Amino acid sequence: MKAIVSQMQVGDMTQVAEIEREAFSTSWPPTSFRREINNRSHSCLVAYAPQQQAALEEERGSGPNLSARAPDRSVFSRLLESVKEFVSPEVASDGNRRVLGYVSLWFGVEEAHVTAIAVGREWRSLGIGDLLMIGAVEVARRRGSRFLSLEVRASNTMAQSLYSKYGFKKTGLRKGYYSDNREDALVMTTDPIDGPQYQEMVERLKESYRRKRGEFELALA
């Protein structure tokens, strides 16, 4: 299935909010994505597939079985109630695309900080996290950032492996950073992303993705 990475649109916000709820159950109140979409210091990218394509691949058996892992609709209804201030009914859903995951960034003077990255549970282990990282690197480069940074739970070795793949290195520790269980956070930072070595690494990762998963599109203009 070909996935596309683009800036989040207003019609994506309900799907993105649901992915946030799945991935970050302790994050409350939910993020105001409407506020972020209009803030030049922030960027939220989504990976998505056209609805028709996602449905066709599911029918053929090449995609995940969504019906077996459908979200609890009562929980989803409560989520929509909680974010109705920010998501109006007329823009609650874009019927043309299914959001697979998202990544949000905050931009400082030279640094792009990854504040959140998550993939919908029915689309995990399909390379969507790689696409979101590729998109994050590209949008940071276009915005003139020299470094990318993030925090990650000390116990989340799977996420750390993904970040290391894209050149993030452990540069610090925030003790008791996570409020739900006082877990420590590792601070991870890249080398300069505008350097030739880093850019060559990203190009190799893109080509590796194409060989393994197929074509993708970065629609970031």
Q: Where are the domains of the chain?
A: 3-146+192-219
pLDDT for 132: 98
Instruction: For the chain, give the number of residues.
Output: 221
> Which pLDDT does position 67 carry in this prediction?
30
Task: Give residue 37's pLDDT.
Answer: 80
**Two tokens at 37?**
């979409």
Give dist(CA 6, CA 46) in Å, integer.
6
> Residue 195: what pLDDT?
94
* Both structure tokens of 87: 């998501």
Catalytic residue among 18, 20, 122, 163: 163
Distance CA 76, CA 18 (A): 7
Q: What is the pLDDT along the chain (221 residues), one digit of tens a residue?
A: 789 999 999 999 999 999 999 888 765 556 677 777 878 899 999 999 976 555 545 544 544 433 333 334 333 333 334 333 333 333 334 457 899 999 999 999 999 999 999 999 999 999 999 999 999 999 999 999 999 999 999 999 999 999 999 999 999 999 999 988 899 999 999 999 999 999 999 999 999 999 999 999 999 86
Query: Among this protein's residues, is 163 annotated catalytic?
Result: yes
Q: 3-146+192-219 maps to which CATH number?
A: 3.40.630.30
Q: So what's the pLDDT on residue 51?
A: 65
So what's the pLDDT on residue 54? 55
Residue from 20, 36, 122, 151 carrying the catalytic annotation = 151
Which candidate, 46, 35, 48, places its Cα nearest to that of 8?
A: 46
Residue 29 confidence (pLDDT): 58
Please tell me the predicted confidence (pLDDT) of residue 30: 63
